[in-house]
């Protein structure tokens, strides 16, 4: 890769903060772990002013896992672009301050276990009375009623209950999907639900109370393809894991994804094994045929290096990709061209941040700052009288 290619970018304009879709919207976030914080960070990227409420000792997830000077990397990546204030909700004055902020906010985002809000004195009747226009979203594991209402709800546990761990396993070995996939899916759905409620409020003038169980969200996410054998009435077909698409080459690995007969045909042309087409067509079981197809292609592919096959498959329009490591992805020409990542300041020095992926009128929504220190914005936020320019 040449230096000029490395530095080339799309050079798209940057959207002014006042023009961001959620400019002027105030989000009050009392959540921890990943579901709530990641959802509110998405809203911050879209222009909302997010006030993160932390206990005196700070969000318990701050120091989780790989960290630098007490700033966990995962926490950092889900809590940048926010303002932090400290409130002890176990004290009357803390509860009073939070209630004052509720009156000034557009959105209240929390992921307490069912019953916690009521014990704190923040049940939905209280919140709605304080601010009838507020949109409250409550993320729980299983909902606020039912046999699992008090059960622990962590990413891997939800995976286990929804069939994902069993589906991810191959050859009888169940496997957890890493990197908190459930939490991030739930967060995305939470942000989507909030935006829908904001749209409705513009029409009706009324707030909303949104409940989002992680169990329900992942069922919605998994169903289209993972549950294809339970879609049609009375279908009890046994599930089989999808064919492995990662192929070993003589010096590494590539991934191919021919998804129809035409693409499978051109793949055989590319590896110079066109004579296999008729043999594969005669196989009555499409699943068995696909397995044999990938087995045969894999035997040929491992004879030559990855670069050869990527070039060859590109010439034949075969869907194929390199298998990158983290650093290779960060240095990818298209990643740089799209200006996906940038460096921003933080209390522990510059960090890499990823911008909101959507472009609005061809403009980027860059990240300005990293995560806040505990209570960094207490004085600025105060009782919320200056939030979002609100006068109510």
Write the CATH number for 376.
Answer: 3.40.50.10540
Are residues 268 and 348 located together in one domain of the fold?
no
Q: By three-state DSSP, how is residue 358 classified? A: coil
CA 72 to chain centre: 18
Q: What pLDDT score was predicted for residue 383?
A: 87
- Cβ–Cβ < 8 Å for 169, 240: no
Whether residue 190 lies inside any domain: the answer is: yes
Are residues 60 and 189 located together in one domain of the fold?
yes
Q: Give the CA radius of gyration of the chain.
A: 25
Whether residue 385 lies inside any domain: the answer is: yes
Q: What pLDDT score was predicted for residue 7?
A: 65
Q: What pLDDT score was predicted for residue 293?
A: 95
Beta strands 67-68; 208-213: pairing state: unpaired
**Gap between the Cα atoms of 60 and 72, Å rounded:** 10
In 160-195, which positions are buried (b, 16+ CB within 10 angstroms) versus exposed (e)? ebbbbbebbeeeeeeeeeeebbbbbbbbbbbbebbb
**Gap between the Cα atoms of 371 and 273, Å rounded:** 54
- Alpha helices for 205-260 (secondary structure H): 214-226
- Domain enclosing residue 277, as ranges: 253-322
**Gap between the Cα atoms of 241 and 234, Å rounded:** 21
Residues 6 or more apart from 261 whose CB is under 8 A from it? none
Are residues 143 and 274 located together in one domain of the fold?
no
**Selection from 156, 73, 63, 144 nearest residue 111 by Cα:** 144
State which of 293, 322, 351 marks the end of a domain: 322
Whether residue 55 lies inside any domain: the answer is: yes
Are residues 126 and 70 located together in one domain of the fold?
yes
**Gap between the Cα atoms of 66 and 55, Å rounded:** 22
Q: What pLDDT score was predicted for residue 389?
A: 58
Whether residue 221 lies inside any domain: the answer is: yes
Whether residue 193 lies inside any domain: the answer is: yes
Are residues 83 and 172 located together in one domain of the fold?
yes
Structurally, the chain folds into a number of domains equal to 2
Q: What pLDDT score was predicted for residue 261?
A: 92
Are residues 58 and 150 located together in one domain of the fold?
yes
| Rounded alpha-carbon distances, angstroms, from residue 163 to 7, 82, 160, 220 | 44, 35, 6, 12
Residuewise pLDDT in 10s, the chain (392 residues): 334 444 688 889 999 999 999 999 999 999 999 999 999 999 999 999 999 999 999 999 999 999 999 999 999 999 999 999 999 999 999 999 999 999 999 999 999 999 999 999 999 999 999 999 999 999 999 999 999 999 999 999 999 999 999 988 776 788 899 899 999 999 999 999 999 999 999 999 999 999 999 999 999 999 999 998 899 999 998 877 777 899 999 999 999 999 899 999 999 999 999 999 999 999 998 888 998 999 999 999 999 999 999 999 999 999 999 999 999 999 999 999 999 999 999 999 999 999 999 999 999 999 999 999 999 999 999 988 888 754 33
**Gap between the Cα atoms of 246 and 109, Å rounded:** 40
Q: What pLDDT score was predicted for residue 390?
A: 44
**Gap between the Cα atoms of 127 and 241, Å rounded:** 47
Are residues 308 and 346 located together in one domain of the fold?
no
Are residues 51 and 155 located together in one domain of the fold?
yes
**Gap between the Cα atoms of 290 and 292, Å rounded:** 5
Are residues 266 and 208 located together in one domain of the fold?
no
Whether residue 332 lies inside any domain: the answer is: no
Q: By three-state DSSP, how is residue 209 classified? A: strand
- Alpha helices for 135-275 (secondary structure H): 155-161, 164-168, 181-204, 214-226, 261-270
In 341-374, which positions are buried (b, 16+ CB within 10 angstroms) versus exposed (e)? eeebebbeeebebebbeeeeeeebbebebbbbeb
Two tokens, residue 107: 């959105």
Angle among Cα 340, 343, 347 to the nearest 5 degrees reads: 135
Are residues 160 and 305 located together in one domain of the fold?
no
Are residues 318 and 347 located together in one domain of the fold?
no
Are residues 81 and 178 located together in one domain of the fold?
yes
Q: What pLDDT score was predicted for residue 4?
A: 43
């Amino acid at each position: 890769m040449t230096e000029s290619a490395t530095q080339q970018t799309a050079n798209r304009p940057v959207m002014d903060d006042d023009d961001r879709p959620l400019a002027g919207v105030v989000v009050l976030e009392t959540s921890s772990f990943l579901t709530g914080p990641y959802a509110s960070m998405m809203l911050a990227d879209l222009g909302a002013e997010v006030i993160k409420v932390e206990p005196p000792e700070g969000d318990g997830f701050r120091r989780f896992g790989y960290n630098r000077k007490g700033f966990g990397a995962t926490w950092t990546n889900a809590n940048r672009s926010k303002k932090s204030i400290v409130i002890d909700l176990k004290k009357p004055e803390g509860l009073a301050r939070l209630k004052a902020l509720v009156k000034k906010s557009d959105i209240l985002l929390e992921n307490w276990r069912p019953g916690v809000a009521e014990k704190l004195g923040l049940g939905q009747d209280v919140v709605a009375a304080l601010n009838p226009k507020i949109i409250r979203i409550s993320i729980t594991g299983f909902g606020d009623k039912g046999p699992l209402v008090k059960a622990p709800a962590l990413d891997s546990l939800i995976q286990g209950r929804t069939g994902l761990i069993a589906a991810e396993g191959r050859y009888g070995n169940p496997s957890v999907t890493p990197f908190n996939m459930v939490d991030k899916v739930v967060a995305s759905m939470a942000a989507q639900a909030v935006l829908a409620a904001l749209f409705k409020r513009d029409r009706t003038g009324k707030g909303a109370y949104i409940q989002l169980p992680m169990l329900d969200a992942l069922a919605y996410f998994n169903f289209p393809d993972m549950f294809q054998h339970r879609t049609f009435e009375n279908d009890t077909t046994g599930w089989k894991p999808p064919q492995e698409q990662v192929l070993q080459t003589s010096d590494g690995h590539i991934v191919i994804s021919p998804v129809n007969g035409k693409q499978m045909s051109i793949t055989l042309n590319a590896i110079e094994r066109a004579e296999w087409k008729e043999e594969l067509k005669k196989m009555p079981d499409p699943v068995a045929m696909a397995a044999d197809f990938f087995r045969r292609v894999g035997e040929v592919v491992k004879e030559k290096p990855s670069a050869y096959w990527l070039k060859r498959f590109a010439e034949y329009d075969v869907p194929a990709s390199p298998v990158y490591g983290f650093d290779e992805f960060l240095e990818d020409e298209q990643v740089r061209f799209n200006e996906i990542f940038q460096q921003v300041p933080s209390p522990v020095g510059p960090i890499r941040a990823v911008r909101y992926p959507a472009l609005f009128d061809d403009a980027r929504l860059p990240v300005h700052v990293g995560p806040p220190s505990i209570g960094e914005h207490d004085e600025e936020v105060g009782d919320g009288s200056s939030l979002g320019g609100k006068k109510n």
